[in-house]
Chains A and B, each alone.
Chain A
Amino acid sequence: MSAEIYKEIILDYYRHPRNYGKLENYDISARDSNPLCGDEIEMRIKVSDGGKIGEIKFQGKGCAISQASASMLTEFAKEKPLDWVKDLSKEDVLKLLGNPDLGPARIKCALLGLKVIKTGVYQYLGAKLEDPSAGE
């Protein structure tokens, strides 16, 4: 865990976050923060007719890892069925980030967006969420 994790793509998403903003018309809304760092992510989703993620936007503040991963996740999730989110894993998120060697202190930053999207979708589907960062 050092400078190598800051690949070009992470900095690009940090400085130019895709899907950044707040949906006014939405079906799902979830927000979480990382108490250690204070990183914050809020996501809103408009569910499309086929039970898919129609529109998705996020807002937040925090480090490059947390903000870039949330932004990448929103892009990745667009047009996917809600059920697909259930299967989304830690590995998927790390792959989006280019598999950086984050170490235990920073991995929580990378997974904050995942936790938020899962919380929102699970709540919407009325299912119970298993902590995606559990078992580390």
Chain B
Amino acid sequence: METAFSSRFSVLLKSQVLELERIREDFPILKRKVKGKRLVYLDNAATTQKPRRVIDALVDYYERYNANAHRSLHTLGIEATEEFEKSRRGAAEFIHASPREIVFTRGTTESINLVRFAWGEDQIKKGDTILLTLMEHHSNIVPWQLAAKRSGAVLKFVELDSQGRLKMDEMEEAIERSPRLVGVTQCSNVLGTINDVARICRRAKKAGALSVVDAAQSVPHMPVSVGEVGCDFLAFSGHKMLGPTGIGVLYGRRELLEEMAPFQGGGEMIREVHLDGAKWNDVPYKFEAGTADIAGAIGLLAAIEYLSEIGMEKVRRHDLELQRYAIEALKGVRGLQLYGPERAEERSGVVSFNLADVHPHDLATILDGEGIEIRSGHHCAQPLMEWLGVSATSRASFHVYNSYDDIDALKAGLEKAKEVFGL
């Protein structure tokens, strides 16, 4: 049953973009078993696994030079500060920004909330429009709902076509009507759809709207340059790009960051504090109150170095090949409905689907029994679920260590689920 399918792709199997055997060796967790089976980890859009190098970087910091950054003048403090700032430079270089434009946060969610407070509290006024899309993650919806509620602004959502692509003409028309802010995801975490954010940001700029790009699913999977995107803000999370949890980035255009009020108050974000007031520190420190996740930043740098050595172009190509293979494989499963754009080129490494009347949670449980870890649920995108007319989907998502074998295993797991459900 599998053979006809596999043989068609055997050429592809040999022409791997990446040296998968070697890469898989770098990820200690891939050696573990789940329910006695080989771990097939396909939940990378939720969080990725960590290579040895990232784990070592964390241990190295705690074992050799643990100290607070930007505080203590002793040797350990200096080393910690140097490494922390090196991480900022690494993150900047990775997205072609300047280090002063890199604010360390807890992740995408906190990055967007930072924009909402530090920029939005002053700038979003009654009657303003906040333009979003139907495929946003809750983290790029809820902060703006809160902002709208507080200010009296209105939210507008751009719709999708039947393949789950943004209706660009609708987007452009809406931008013509001068919204205050345009918030858009570069890649959907459910449909995989890649949006032409450069075009959207260009239009937004012309219309005098601020642009916020959710890059949580793009920065980990493809080369991203903030110059090319042309956005005002861009947010991403370390843990979705082989780095640790607890660290993320907000890129902000320098002039904007300079003008903005602080986010939280506390240590590190001030220059001088007197009983009657305080002066803010320079950017980006103005936005980094309190002790940062120093270890997290250092771990993120290790992840960035790891990805850069592979090359983001290659990461993207590998993603594309897996995507093609997966779409083809899943199309062969009768009763399976795939969501998102038909052409692999228009998507990043995410495949969402539903299998007949098997609820995604039941499917995830059955697959887990085979060692296959996928995500099931609404993926923090309930408006999108409503649009799809479902309450949940199953989602397989890839990263550098995934192979065709993993997708074959997924397909076999789906066949097993059909058997269990008598389909």
Contact = CB atoms under 8 A, between A and B. Distances in A.
A24 B378 CA distance: 31
Interface of B: 35, 357-362, 365-366, 368-370, 377-378, 382, 391-392, 416-417, 420-422
A61 B366 contact: no
A63 B357 contact: no
Nearest to A105: B365
B357 A15 contact: yes
Given A38-B378, A38-B391, A63-B362, A11 B369 contact: no
B416 A3 contact: yes
Interface of A: 1-6, 11, 15, 36-39, 61-65, 105-106, 109
A64 B364 CA distance: 12
Contacts of B358: 64
A106 B369 contact: no
A3 B391 contact: no
Contacts of A4: 369
Nearest to B34: A2
14 contacts: A1-B365, A2-B368, A3-B369, A3-B417, A6-B362, A36-B377, A37-B361, A38-B382, A38-B391, A61-B391, A63-B360, A63-B361, A64-B362, A109-B361
Contacts of B392: 37-38
A63 B370 CA distance: 19
A11 B391 contact: no
A6 B361 contact: no
A2 B391 contact: no
Contacts of A15: 357
What are the nearest 9 A-B pairs in CB distance?
A2-B369, A63-B359, A63-B361, A3-B420, A3-B366, A63-B362, A64-B362, A6-B420, A3-B369
Chain B CB within 10 Å — which of A4, A11, A37, A105 has the most? A37
Nearest to A106: B365
A5 B365 contact: yes
Contacts of A6: 362, 366, 420-421
Contact of B359 (A2, A5, A62, A105): A62
A38 B369 contact: no
Given A6-B421, A105-B365, 5 more contacts: A5-B365, A6-B366, A11-B422, A38-B377, A38-B392
A63 B360 CA distance: 7
A94 to B, nearest CB: 16
Contacts of A39: 361
A2 B365 contact: yes
A94 B369 CA distance: 20
Contacts of B369: 1-4
A5 B368 CA distance: 12
A101 to B, nearest CB: 11
B112 to A, nearest CB: 21
Contacts of A11: 421-422
A122 B225 CA distance: 58
